[in-house]
Amino acid sequence: MARGAYSEQEITITNCDREPIHIIGKAQEHGVIMICDMDTLSVSQCSENVENILGFNHESILGEPLKQVLPKKVAKSFKRKLKNNESLLPEKFKVGDQKFICIPSISQELLILDIEPSGKSLDPVRFQEQLTKILTELNDAESVNDMCQQAALLVKHLFDYDRIMIYKFDEDWNGEVVAEVKEPDLDSWLGLHYPATDIPKPARDIFMKQGVRIISDVNYKASPIIPEISPITGQPSDISSSELRAVSPIHIEYLQNMNVAASLTAAIILNGELWGLVACHNATPKFINYHQRQSCLFLTQVFSNKLALKTTNLFLDKTSASNEIRKKLVLQMTSIHNIVDALCKFEPAFTDIVDCGGGAIVKGGELCTYGDTPAISEIVQLCNNFLVNKGTYFSSKSLSNVYPEASKFKDKASGILSTRFGDEKEDYIIWFRPEAKETVSWGGNPTKQGYIKDGVEYLTPRKSFERWAEKVSGIAKPWEEYDYEAVSKLRESIIHILVKKQKDEIYSLNDRLVDANKELEAFSYSVSHDLRAPLRGIDGYARILKDHYMDRLDDYSKKAVNTIVRSAGEMDTMIDDILSYSKVGQTQLSKQLLSIKQIAANAIEAQNAENNYPNTSIKLDENLPKAVGDRRMISQLINNLISNALKYSSKEEYPAVEISFFREKEQNVYFIKDNGVGFDPKHQEKIFELFSRVASKDYMGSGIGLSIAKKVVDKHNGQLWVETEPGKGSTFFFILPDLEE
């Protein structure tokens, strides 16, 4: 929109938020806006009223050096500061009897000068007194609202406008008058709300930037800046930094409709965001000079700081109260097995952590409610149809706005704050807030701000400021920062406890498993041991039959006696194996440096290889390195591997067994290789399990040897594995780490 076009064109609500008020190219009547080239310091644009205020014809000063227009010392001071990159400060000067102040600012490489009557500067002693007063009174205020009331009183005292208001924005930028000090004949606007459109975004942005802004006479005649387009930039100049900049015609009309003739507005900024405004109205024109505006700016800054402190303290108080409750809940959760019971069935309950009407916990498909909540079926639907699509946290002060079904239970749950927890995606904790049965008093009907013509909504600044009451429906008290903090901390604690509980369960399962294993080993040891005696009886008597009575037996009985003797032998080996298996589990390691070569040689000898496997070529590596381990156990390991290699290659034409090693990753890898039957590699892991056999019946065995081998290696923290191929042979590898820690 072109500069100066407002009067000719109606303004729509849609374009209102885009209103380019930063380039409204006009000055308020009481001062001059002069724009200079920053390099040459010559005047490039100037408001027309320069003639009335400083006595120059505006045409005559365009293009002139600043030092020809303003006193030389002023121009010189700006020039020096610009050259040295110092911050520019206001300069005072006199024209005739009149005192002026020139307030500089920089925008788009242009020097913008606001020249206005300087008025009286502040007496430093009085200022000091005022400051002390401000600080004490704000310090004494009990609540934020009290603080606002104190601040309004101070501003009234300092600047004496007819009405001083502290105006606070809500999250939708609607405003509420939270404090007011006024002349007795005026109606009170305290508690009134104003819709967000009353102070549109561009105006809010300017407040953030400028801090304090006055309109000295709402009915002023704005003075245009000439020329309209800057000869330096080729665009209208951005004069948003100018305090003299003319005001949006919409705003002027708005103030006129309120019967306001002069205003002062100061931004209250909290943690970098616009929290609210100090808004001052006067029924007659009123000018507040630069020094007074500065002290107002200072006051608002002090107020903002105190406000930040107060809200931080409130946050800390609330957080410490919820922390106390959370600690008790944690205690309940750690002492009661069922977390849901711990949170719902005792004092305090999870609902005590924030201010709410009731709540629900959904865990592992179960639902537990506490306090005033929607029906169980409604909560289930809410979770399944709505919350399931939300993230870890969800909150709303008006659930029915985003989930229309909620209008049925708005009396119980207009507000909702929920979080997920636990492993299940569907585990939630939900807090509900009832509808705040409030009536909002608007300053005028907030919805009637415009009219629609040809499908476009046109804005007319509201004319009526009568109290207009609206019943708020489906809206709960908003969730505050400290509510989110309490919920997120509780969630962390629950997750922590759940993880700990899982860990404890795993540990206790593990302990039970170890105990059971030990018991089993002890049991198999004693069983095997006890089996020995009767077996000896069976074997002894069968041998007596075989040696002395065989000739008296028929063929069938002879076969039976032979089977008894053979089976007793097999059973004896099996008992031996089981005994050694359980012994490995039960005995402590007695470590020493062992010659693996010697142990392997002994094993070959023990197998009586020369006689039992005469065809087998056995290659024992001369350089087999030593290793640290338990002599008995390592002998058992090597024995089992060598005896298997001999056994499972015995039926080959040229059986060959090799016992050797190689170095890998600075470790000795020993191996026993044969060219025997091998087996399907899919059994690579299984063969190390107890009683697991994959060989054909042609090869006798108990299926225990490799389990013993595995147990021995595990006890030594080593590794044992096999590479094999059916018909090609197998290689068993093992590593024994140095155990000498």
Measured from the CB atom, the residue of 21 and 677 that comes closer to ligand ADP is 677
Q: How deeply is 172 buried, as exposed, middle or buried, from its count of CB atoms within 10 A (0-12, 13-18, 19+)?
A: exposed
Nearer to ligand ADP, 539 or 658 (CB): 658
| Residue 702 binds ligand ADP, judged by CB under 6 A | yes
CA dist 207 and 386 (Å) reads 39
Sign of the dihedral defined by the CA atoms of residues 72, 74, 75, 77, in that order: positive
Q: Note whether 720 binds ligand ADP by CB under 6 A.
A: no
> For ligand ADP, which stretch binds (CB under 6 A), given 79-87, 291-299, 403-411, 702-710?
702-710
CB of 575 to ligand ADP, least distance (A): 14
- CA-CA distance, 167 to 151, in Å (whole number)? 12
Please say which residue, 53 or 677, places its beta carbon nearer to ligand ADP: 677
**CB of 49 or CB of 636, closer to ligand ADP:** 636
Structure tokens at 144: 């934020």
Coil, helix or strand at residue 86: coil
Instruction: CB nearer to ligand ADP: give 288 or 599.
Output: 599
Taking the least distance from each CB to ligand ADP, the nearer of 91 and 674 is 674
Among 350, 428, 648, 733, binds ligand ADP (CB under 6 A): 648
In eight-state DSSP terms, residue 580 is: H
Residue range at the interface with ligand ADP (CB under 6 A); choices 193-201, 288-296, 495-503, 693-701:
693-701
CB 430 within 8 A of CB 363: no
DSSP 190: T
695: contact with ligand ADP by CB under 6 A: yes
As measured in angstroms, the least distance from the Cβ of 535 to ligand ADP is: 19
Best CA proximity match to 673, nearest among 714, 620, 735: 620
Q: Is the distance from CB of 440 to CB of 194 less than 8 angstroms?
A: no
The contact pattern for ligand ADP, residues 653-692, with x = CB under 6 A and - = no contact, is ---------------------x-xxxx-------x----x
Contact set for ligand ADP, span 507-566 (CB under 6 A): none
Say how far apart CA 65 and CA 395 lie, in whole Å.
61
Binding track, positions 627-646, relative to ligand ADP; x by CB under 6 A? -------------x---xx-
Rounded to whole angstroms, the Cα distance separating 258 from 546 reads 127
**Closer to ligand ADP by Cβ: residue 25 or 655:** 655
Q: Is the peptide bond before 404 cis (omega within 30 degrees of 0)?
A: no
Residue 693 as a binder of ligand ADP (CB under 6 A): the answer is yes
Using the minimum distance from each CB to ligand ADP, give the nearer residue, 144 or 578. Answer: 578
Residue number of the CB closest to ligand ADP reads 701
Q: What pairs with residue 432 in β-bridges?
A: 358, 416
Residue closer to ligand ADP, measured from CB, 446 or 678:
678
Give the Cα separation of 161 and 169 in Å (integer).
22
Site for ligand ADP in 207-226 (CB under 6 A): none
Among 82, 122, 694, 739, binds ligand ADP (CB under 6 A): 694
**Least distance from C-beta 515 to ligand ADP, angstroms?**
25
CB 101 within 8 A of CB 116: yes
**Nearest distance from residue 714's CB to ligand ADP, in Å?**
15
Question: d(Cα 238, Cα 646) in Å, to the nearest integer?
Answer: 97
Strand partners, 720: 734
Binding residue for ligand ADP, selected from 16, 147, 387, 706, defined by CB under 6 A: 706
Residues 49 and 34: their CA atoms lie apart, in Å, by: 10
Stretch that binds ligand ADP, among 163-171, 543-551, 579-587, 697-705 (CB under 6 A): 697-705
CB of residue 589 vs ligand ADP: minimum separation in angstroms?
22
d(CA 292, CA 280): 14
Least spacing, CB of residue 691 vs ligand ADP, in Å:
8
Q: How far apart are CA 628 and CA 610, in angstroms?
A: 29
Please state the closest distance from residue 636 (CB atom) to ligand ADP, in A.
11
| For ligand ADP, the closer CB: 448 or 651 | 651
The CB-of-646 to ligand ADP minimum distance in angstroms stands at 9
Report the alpha-carbon distance of residue 712 to residue 630 in Å, rounded: 9
Q: How many residues bind ligand ADP (CB under 6 A)?
A: 22
Of 436 and 694, the one with the shorter C-beta distance to ligand ADP is 694
Q: Which of 480, 387, 428 is nearest to 144 (CA)?
A: 480
Which of 175, 236, 701, 718 is in the footprint of ligand ADP by CB under 6 A? Answer: 701
Please, what's the b/e burial string for 315-338 (b: 16 or more CB within 10 A of its CB; e: otherwise)?
A: eeebbeebeebbeebbebbeeeee
595 versus 692: smaller Cβ distance to ligand ADP: 692
- Residue labelled with tokens 């009286």: 120
CA separation (Å) from 51 to 226, 446, 544? 12, 43, 143
Q: How far apart are CB 699 and ligand ADP at their closest, in Å? A: 7
* Count, residues in the chain: 741
**Distance in Å, CB of 578 to ligand ADP, minimum:** 12
Place of tokens 């440096």: 593
User: Which CB sits closer to ligand ADP, 432 or 648?
Assistant: 648
Q: How far is CA 550 from CA 67, 537, 553, 555, 564, in A?
A: 142, 18, 5, 9, 13
Nearest distance, CB of residue 607 and ligand ADP, angstroms: 13
| Binding residues for ligand ADP (CB under 6 A) | 640, 644-645, 648, 674, 676-679, 687, 692-695, 701-707, 730
